[in-house]
Amino acid sequence: MGRYCVCGLKFTDNEIEDYKKCDCQWSYWVSCCDFPTYRGNKKEKISLPTKEGVYLVRLTTVCGDRYEAYSFFSKTERKIPCEYTGKEGFTHWSGSLQDIPYAWYNADLIE
């Protein structure tokens, strides 16, 4: 048991040292928020996509695990209840607030 990163790294209680071992690639990834603390694209502007559609995203679960999946981005924000806290929140992404996108892959930057 434990928390895992997208790259497969298992987090310990010393997250600062774990982040130094993180093998995640951040080229072409745009952050939705300032997470994780030691994200590899801190020089890039935090933003959301400008076009609606399906994107590859990096998500974090309420347990702290991180993974990649496809999610639909809508320009229209929607209100949904957080399954963990019961409070309402807002999101532009499909799915629940239990798994929160923190970065999206911008294929437009490749071309």
- Domain extent listing, the chain: 3-109
pLDDT at 11: 80
Average pLDDT over residues 57-77: 91
pLDDT at 22: 84
- CA end-to-end distance (rounded Å), the chain: 40
Q: pLDDT band for 111, please (50, 70, 90 cuts).
A: low
In contact, 73 and 93? CB cutoff 8 Å: yes
Q: Supply the pTM of this predicted model.
A: 0.84
| Bigger pLDDT: 53 vs 3 | 53
Mean pLDDT of the chain: 85
Share of the chain above pLDDT 70, in %: 85
